[in-house]
Amino acid sequence: MNKVIVILTLIVVILFAGNIFLGIKYYSAQNQAQQFLIAGKKNAAIINFNKLFVDKVLKTQGAVSYEDQLKLENAIIAIQDSEISDAWHTFLSSATEEEAQQNTLIILGLLPRKLIY
């Protein structure tokens, strides 16, 4: 009878420890999945801005329309990255075409570095 109680107690303790272990693993996996989701959203926002920037700024002859400027500004806000935002505002405040080209290179170099792998 004592052996049965000891064995059952041991089984309960092992099952309890297993539940704790699996609970910790579940919590860790849930946090990792949340981080992947956040990274995916940020990457999508960066890619969206990059596409808009190329299509609406680089491929456009002449001035960018107000509607396109608004789309670009909203895309910058969606990224939620101060370095990209600062580079964008520096680009917007470019005084000369040469300065704008340099700031364009900065933006285009910065965007791929900000992607989360």
- Domain boundary assignment for the chain: 2-114
Which pLDDT value is given to residue 63? 86
Which pLDDT value is given to residue 37? 95
pTM of the predicted structure, to 2 decimals? 0.79
- Under the banding of pLDDT at 50, 70 and 90, the label for residue 117 is confident
The region of weakest confidence among 15-19, 56-60, 74-78, 81-85 is 56-60
Share of the chain above pLDDT 70, in %: 100
* CA 10 centroid distance within chain: 46
- Under the banding of pLDDT at 50, 70 and 90, the label for residue 60 is confident
Please provide the DSSP assignment of 45-91 as one string: HHHHHHHHIIIIIIS-SSPPPHHHHHHHHHHHHHH--HHHHHHHHHH
Residue 115: φ, ψ to 5°: -65, 140
- Under the banding of pLDDT at 50, 70 and 90, the label for residue 116 is confident
Q: Rounded mean pLDDT of the chain?
A: 94
